A = this chain, B = another copy of it.
Amino acid sequence: MDTKGKKILIADDEPDILEIIQYNLSKEGYDVSVAKDGDEALVKAKFSKPDLIILDIMMPKKNGIEVCEILRSQPAFKDVLIIFLTALNDETTHVKGLEMGADDYVNKPISPKVLVSRVNALFRRVNKQPEGKVLKLESLTIDPDRYEVLAGNNNVTLAKKEFELLYLLASRPGRVFLRNEILNQVWGNDVIVGDRTIDVHIRKVRQKLGLDCITTIKGVGYKFDM
């Protein structure tokens, strides 16, 4: 598996656990950093932008649930993978943790091998949605790494939302995206914005591109068409 460049942050107040997990994930090829309490986890997360965060629930400063809540409320961490790791073996916390937006919940004591497998499984699943690929569609080039769009021979600068919107539509040319899907993908499952917001962004993209490549399907949604 391609674990290159995948960054993992582990937060736990027990040094032993921290070390053994770090050792095993590093061996697997991940780029691992650690934090020993909730506050440190937040700081390091902001600093290193990990792809996956493993959170102990019972930690000093801020517990794992709080950390998760804070992270998920920030757009930058809305999609980061989160695994709860805890000695608490209680159903309510388990359910709550998952509902809070965690991707997995693992009980201690944990076998390093199993944890590594679960991490791998999570990345494998997430990677199936091709992300970060440069899209080329006739005269249009969309580069998600640079957040840049080349229309014909001139560079177009799109704002973040505009870009993500275009990228989503262009990722499956011809397919209609329902307004709902667009909201979920670009704005996030939980964000509440008016329906007109999508239209306005569509307009901006159309305007800036100067191409007629987004088709409106009234009452349904939008699709990319060249």
Q: Which chain A residues have a beta carbon within 8 Å of chain B's beta carbons? A: 1-2, 79, 81, 91, 94-95, 98-99, 101-105, 111, 113-114, 117-118, 120-121, 124-129, 145-148, 159-160, 174-176, 180-181, 184-185, 189, 217-220, 223
Contact = CB atoms under 8 A, between A and B. Distances in A.
A147 B220 contact: yes
Contact of A175 (B98, B113, B145, B219): B145
Judged by DSSP, the binding face of A is mixed
A124 B105 CA distance: 15
A120 B99 contact: yes
A103 B81 CA distance: 14
Given A91-B114, A103-B121, A114-B95, A175 B146 contact: yes
Given A128-B79, A218-B160, A118 B146 contact: no
